[in-house]
């Protein structure tokens, strides 16, 4: 057993564990001691997870970056419509980038017999901001809840609602500073805290726990409104997250609501981003159809014959080679 631990320690496995997220030591130690996956199942999972998430990173995220980066590097040169599209694209870029490499780490772990926890669970299908944070970067959100929010709220429970507000603001302040020592991240954390505050004050933060449209093919009008509103509020917060400084964030917040907001940017019509947009729609559709279970895209061909699965993986690798960005783009979260 000691030799096996030494092999794992010297391997590159822990590099990917750091990339994945925050895992409690008890859970990780149990995985070391108890074999969870068979050899054949682990390599099947590696192919299904890695091929899909490499596609998300190399094709969707990196191609979106080619449009987002020039806009955010010089936001003053673009009107409101372009700024809005760039921010919407960044919302999907950061999701495909972060969830992509997080799930690649899960795939690498499965080869070694470990089943790491889910880190993203269709966050843009959330029907409230509290629901969003139960779905986005789940390992970090859980850690902040267990070691910051709940201890502070319990320690200040004699202060009533003020103790809860203090715990909430402190939690999101730490969440912002965890990403970097920049006021833009503090603003991002503060915005998310303000979004969730009314839900906590109204005791609504534990609502919407069920799957959206559980017994239906499509959501209700109320659910559509909740999903769209939650997504738009999240997009507005991403502006400060993506900006280089507070001044740039304020400029974008001002310019994005210009009268040109509803115009169709020529930059979109003259690029190949419409293909990436169609791929995003396809991925959203697959995830929606499989919303009653986790890993809808990864498990799309689970029950198919082996030859069909391998043909699917091969075709996906072909698409990666065809549409992947030729410009190298580092993982966004490697900077944090």
Under 8 Å between Cβ of 127 and 223: yes
CA quadruple 294, 308, 51, 228: dihedral sign: negative
Q: What pLDDT is recorded for position 179?
A: 87
Task: Say yes or no to pLDDT of 318 above 50.
Answer: yes
Alpha-carbon span 18 to 15, nearest angstrom: 5
Distance CA 16, CA 110 (A): 12
Q: Give, to the nearest 10 degrees, the angle between helix 183-201 and helix 161-179.
A: 150
Q: Report pLDDT for 275.
A: 75
pLDDT at 299: 60
% pLDDT > 90, the chain: 25
- Please, which pLDDT band fits residue 243 given cuts at 50, 70 and 90? very high
Task: Tell me if 264 sits within 8 A of 274, measured CB to CB.
Answer: no
210-240 burial string, b = 16+ CB within 10 Å, else e?
eebbeeeeebeeebeebbeebbebbbebbbb
Token couple for 322: 């065809």
Average pLDDT of 143-148?
91
Query: What pLDDT, on a 0 to 100 scale, did the predictor assign at position 192?
Result: 95
Output the average pLDDT for the chain.
78
- Residue 118: which pLDDT band, with cuts at 50, 70 and 90? confident
Structure tokens at 38: 């068979």
pLDDT of residue 8: 44
* Residue whose tokens read 């990780």: 28
Residue 248 has pLDDT above 70, yes or no: yes
Q: What pLDDT score was predicted for residue 16?
A: 47
Query: Minimum mean pLDDT among 39-53, 112-126, 275-289, 310-324: which range?
Result: 39-53
pLDDT at 321 over 50: yes
Q: What's the burial of 157, exposed, middle or buried (CB within 10 Å: 0-12/13-18/19+)?
A: exposed
> Please, what is the angle between helix 39-55 and helix 80-111, to 10°?
170
- Winning range, highest mean pLDDT, from 106-110, 150-154, 258-262: 150-154
The whole-number average pLDDT for the span 121-138 is 90
- Is a pLDDT exceeding 70 seen at residue 46? no
* pLDDT of amino acid 13: 46
- Active site residues per annotation: 179
Q: At 48, is the pLDDT very low, low, confident or very high (cuts 50, 70, 90)?
A: low
What confidence tier does 187 reach under pLDDT thresholds 50, 70, 90? very high
- Mean pLDDT within 197-224: 78
Instruction: Write out pLDDT tens, residues 17-26.
Output: 455 567 666 6
CB 52 within 8 A of CB 117: no
Q: What percent of the chain has pLDDT over 70?
A: 69
**Which residue spans within 170-291 are E strands per DSSP?**
none
Of 281, 319, 276, 245, which Cα lies nearest the Cα of 68? 276
pTM of the model: 0.84
Q: Return the higher-pLDDT residue of 63 and 271.
A: 63
Q: How far apart are CA 90 and CA 332, in angstroms?
A: 11
Q: How high is the pLDDT of residue 9? A: 43
Upper half-sphere CA count for residue 187 (Cβ side, 13 Å): 19
CA separation, residue 104 to residues 36, 52, 207, 241 (Å):
18, 9, 31, 24
The pair of structure tokens assigned to 215 is 């017994």
Boundaries of every domain in the chain: 39-113+264-336
Residue 141 CB coordination number (10 Å): 20
Residue of 223, 224, 228 lying closest to 210 (CA atoms): 223
Q: 201 CB contacts (<8 Å, ≥6 apart)?
A: 161, 164
d(Cα 313, Cα 52) in Å, to the nearest integer?
Answer: 8
Evaluated on CA atoms 38, 41, 45, 51, the torsion sign reads positive
What tokens does 299 get? 């498990």
The pLDDT value recorded for residue 167 is 93
- The pLDDT, as a whole number, for residue 1 is 42
pLDDT band for position 10 (50/70/90)?
Answer: very low
Note the pLDDT tens digit of each residue in 256-291. Answer: 887 666 666 665 655 566 777 787 887 777 777 666
Instruction: Tokens for 269, please give them.
Output: 């019509």
């Amino acid at each position: 057993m000691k030799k096996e631990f030494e092999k794992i320690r010297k391997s590159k496995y822990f590099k990917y564990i750091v990339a994945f997220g925050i895992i409690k030591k008890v859970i990780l130690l149990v995985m070391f001691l108890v074999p969870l996956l068979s050899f054949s199942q682990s390599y099947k999972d590696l192919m299904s997870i890695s091929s899909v998430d490499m596609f998300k990173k190399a094709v969707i995220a990196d191609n979106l970056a080619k449009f987002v980066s020039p806009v955010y590097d010089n936001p003053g040169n673009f009107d409101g419509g372009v700024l809005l599209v760039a921010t919407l694209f960044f919302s999907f870029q950061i999701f495909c980038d972060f969830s992509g490499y997080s799930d690649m780490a899960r795939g690498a772990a499965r080869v070694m017999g470990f089943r790491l926890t889910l880190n993203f669970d269709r966050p843009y299908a959330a029907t409230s901001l509290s629901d969003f944070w139960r779905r986005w970067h789940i390992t970090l959100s859980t850690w902040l809840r267990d070691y910051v929010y709940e201890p502070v709220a319990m320690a200040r429970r004699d202060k009533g609602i003020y103790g809860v507000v203090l715990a909430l603001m402190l939690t999101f302040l730490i969440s912002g500073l965890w990403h970097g020592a920049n006021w833009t991240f503090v603003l991002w954390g503060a915005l998310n805290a303000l979004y969730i505050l009314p839900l906590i004050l109204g005791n609504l933060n534990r609502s919407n726990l069920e799957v959206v449209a559980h017994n239906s093919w499509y959501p209700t009008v109320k659910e559509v409104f909740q999903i769209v509103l939650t997504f738009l509020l999240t997009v507005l917060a991403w502006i400060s997250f993506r900006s280089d400084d507070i001044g740039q964030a304020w400029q974008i917040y001002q310019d994005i609501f210009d009268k040109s907001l509803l115009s169709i940017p020529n930059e979109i019509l003259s690029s190949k981003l419409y293909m990436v947009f169609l791929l995003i729609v396809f991925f959203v559709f697959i995830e929606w159809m499989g919303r009653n279970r986790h890993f809808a895209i990864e498990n799309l061909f689970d029950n198919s014959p082996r030859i069909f699965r391998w043909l699917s993986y091969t075709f996906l690798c072909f698409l990666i080679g065809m549409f992947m960005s030729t410009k190298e783009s580092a993982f966004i979260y490697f900077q944090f």
